[in-house]
Structure 1
Amino acid sequence: MVIRWGICSAGKISHDFTVALKTLPAENHQVLAVAARDLKRAQEFAQKHSIPRAYGCYEDLAKDPEIDVVYVGTIHPHHLSHGVLFMNAQKNVLCEKPLAMNLREVQELIASAQNNHVFLMEAVWTRFFPVSLEIGRLLSQGEVGELKLARADFGVPLTHVPRAVEKELGGGALLDIGIYCLQFVLMVFNGERPESIQATGVCLDTGVDEAMVITLKFSGHRLAVCTCTISAELPNEAVIVGTKGTIKVPAHMWCPTSLLVNGVETQYPVPEPTLPLNFINSTGMCYEAEEVRRCLLAGLKQSSRMSHADSALLAEIMDEARRQVGVVYSQDSQ
């Protein structure tokens, strides 16, 4: 059965997601429509990707009766309003990360999904990569013994990009890229709530975080350390240490194509793109799209690999980290 997609936003990430969908069988996934605030941009996007319908407003996409699921690729301050718009129109939603600006907004989105009996998932694409599935298998089988420590870092120079530094655009290292480090350690610790959260960071003049280090303490004397920055290139690796060995995810840990288990490396290449991509390894978004299809065919309203509870915990930890560092968005006072 074909899943019919609508694309909300004609930006860079929507381009890459649409290219990723094209790597999957056409009888399983079809992009039926794209919507942007500017009809001309939507039409150009539709032409580039051979999409039959282009809309000049998101409301028209929400009204399209043939759309099964909408991919929301707008900037994060708009995720709440756009997500609710589509879910109120009885559309299933795959929403880019972060799911929303804070826990309150995440809870509103989850409530909307539940009230409308539709599927909702945060597009934490990393969780669906073959590397991530293999990490889960290795940990569940005790391949590295008792888990002791996990570490993840993600840093790239982004201070020249307005959406990364402007507060009203949802800027800051944590919400944009630090979320990948946090979701990784929460995946490793199986969605467990940390016993303590300690965050320290530095902020730009715009009031958003330039860099942050977050230390999480879990039950059984286990630790995790997450480091993120938008002002420098970090090694962008992740490491899991147990009593009997080490699992290492080399760069790029947010879209991994290789895994080192006790020094032995295995490659997991992503599909080849049919059009140039804006971001590295973006065809790997096909894995999250396949998960959405699997869930919809099974009648599920959330994914067990990136559940509503996972998104809520992620948002809760980011809220606390921002509180400690002093990063406040307008959405926090509403």
Structure 2
Amino acid sequence: MSTLRWGIVSAGKISHDFTSALSTLPESEHKVVAVAARDLSRAKEFAKVHGIPNVYDNYEALAKDSGIDIAYIGSLNPQHYENAKLMLENGKHVLCEKPLTMNASQTKALIKVAKEKKLFLMEAVWSRCFPVYKELKKALCSGVIGDVKQVTVGFGFRLEHVDRLMKKEMGGGTILDLGIYTLQFQQFIYDHKKPLEVQATGHVTDTGCDIAMNAVIKYENNQLASIQTSGLCELTNEAVIVGTKGIIRVPNFWCPTQLMLPNETKEFPLPKCKHEMNFVNSVGLRYEAAEARECISKGLQECPSITWNESIQLAELEDTLRKILGVKFPEDSQTY
């Protein structure tokens, strides 16, 4: 396959980290050829930092650029659906930041567009592409901890100062921002099974956004998952898998470089990057970019590491948790 040509939608922090991570991959395989932002000055500054030749002040122009193969969507949550749909309708493959959309209805509608256009669409659950996840799956299949019965995973930081998390119109709340990581992890461990029951409680701000959530998800075969999110305090930010014969721990489970097995700890160091990063282990975004390229080269429309059905399951779980806590977005009342 020839070089995969990327267009970057939005010039924010995560887009910076993703583009920086791409620079650690061979230029013969990945090249960023354009960036678009609604603020032209931000797009120009982004392009200057990353050496990007084409700059646009609107997403439509990027979507119509015939020199782009795939669009990376790094915009705010409420813009994911429209931006990704725009790119697909203009013949672009799409790697869209998580959550893929605001709810299950949007997710199903977006996948329908990708199917019709015969294009690649992937929710950027970058965690799944880390080498630790591949090694973790091998360990579980080997039976090193026996039959898994409990998964506990919490994700939380002091986030009251983060504007987008506190505003409903910006797709705020911890369920969509942090909860998707905890949900995808327990879903990964339990092989994407459908839950028998979901119970949850939490706290909601005056603006209608969830600021903290605890949930218990019940599966068949006496399996349980306990997940927590918080924007009020830093949690352990570790995943613990308990089986009938032992325990596995995954520090920094959303972007892990270490796997703590019962009898050994395995390390998977990340490569160095020339740019300063905004988020922990962001150079690991290179793994999802590499998987996207591999899938496209094979003619796949979805990534085996995070399939369309899984994205729908994740959205449905997020919808369920929000409903229990009483968090509703304008998108929930619309038809797609």
Supply the distance in 1 between the matched residues of 2:291 and 2:200 (Cα, whole angstroms).
33
Q: Which residue number in structure 1 is paired with residue 320 of structure 2? A: 320
Relative to the length of structure 2, the TM-score reads 0.98
**Structure 1 residue 219 displacement after superposition:** 1.2
**Structure 1 residue 263 displacement after superposition:** 5.0
Q: Which residue number in structure 1 is paired with residue 240 of structure 2? A: 239
Which sections of structure 2, spanning at least 5 residues, go unmatched?
none
- How is 1:78-117 mapped onto 2 (pairs within 5 angstroms)? 78-117=79-118
Q: Which residue number in structure 2 is paired with residue 265 of structure 1? A: 265
Supply the distance in 1 between the matched residues of 2:137 and 2:68 (Cα, whole angstroms).
33
Moved more, 33-42 or 77-86: 33-42
Q: Secondary structure at the match of 2:134?
A: helix
Q: Which residue number in structure 2 is paired with residue 162 of structure 1? A: 163
Supply the distance in 2 between the matched residues of 1:270 and 1:185 (Cα, whole angstroms).
24
- How much identity, in percent, do the aligned residues show? 47
- How is 1:99-248 mapped onto 2 (pairs within 5 angstroms)? 99-248=100-249
Supply the distance in 2 between the matched residues of 1:88 and 1:45 (Cα, whole angstroms).
26
**Structure 1 residue 116 displacement after superposition:** 0.9
Supply the distance in 2 between the matched residues of 1:79 and 1:159 (Cα, whole angstroms).
23
Supply the distance in 2 between the matched residues of 1:136 and 1:264 (Cα, whole angstroms).
16
- How is 1:259-298 mapped onto 2 (pairs within 5 angstroms)? 259-262=259-262, 264-298=264-298
Moved more, 34-43 or 117-126: 34-43
Equivalent pairs counted in the alignment come to: 333
Q: Secondary structure at the match of 2:207?
A: coil
**Structure 1 residue 272 displacement after superposition:** 1.2
Supply the distance in 1 between the matched residues of 2:302 and 2:215 (Cα, whole angstroms).
28
Q: Secondary structure at the match of 2:182?
A: helix
Supply the distance in 1 between the matched residues of 2:263 and 2:329 (Cα, whole angstroms).
43
**Structure 1 residue 141 displacement after superposition:** 2.1
Q: Which residue number in structure 2 is paired with residue 311 of structure 1? A: 311
Q: Which residue number in structure 1 is paired with residue 56 of structure 2? A: 55
**Structure 1 residue 190 displacement after superposition:** 1.0
Q: Which residue number in structure 2 is paired with residue 254 of structure 1? A: 254
Supply the distance in 1 between the matched residues of 2:91 and 2:174 (Cα, whole angstroms).
33
**Structure 1 residue 40 displacement after superposition:** 1.6
Give the residue type in structure 1 aligned to 2:311.
S
Give the residue type in structure 2 aligned to 1:327.
V
**Structure 1 residue 271 displacement after superposition:** 1.7
1:330 aligns with 2:333: no
Q: Secondary structure at the match of 1:163?
A: helix
Q: Secondary structure at the match of 1:145?
A: coil
**Structure 1 residue 186 displacement after superposition:** 0.2
Give the residue type in structure 1 aligned to 2:179.
G
Supply the distance in 1 between the matched residues of 2:154 and 2:263 (Cα, whole angstroms).
20
Give the residue type in structure 2 aligned to 1:154.
F
Supply the distance in 1 between the matched residues of 2:191 and 2:29 (Cα, whole angstroms).
30
Supply the distance in 2 between the matched residues of 1:216 and 1:51 (Cα, whole angstroms).
45
Which sections of structure 1, spanning at least 5 residues, go unmatched?
none
Q: Which residue number in structure 2 is paired with residue 10 of structure 1? A: 11
Give the residue type in structure 1 aligned to 2:256.
P
**Structure 1 residue 264 displacement after superposition:** 2.1
**Structure 1 residue 88 displacement after superposition:** 0.2
**Structure 1 residue 47 displacement after superposition:** 0.8
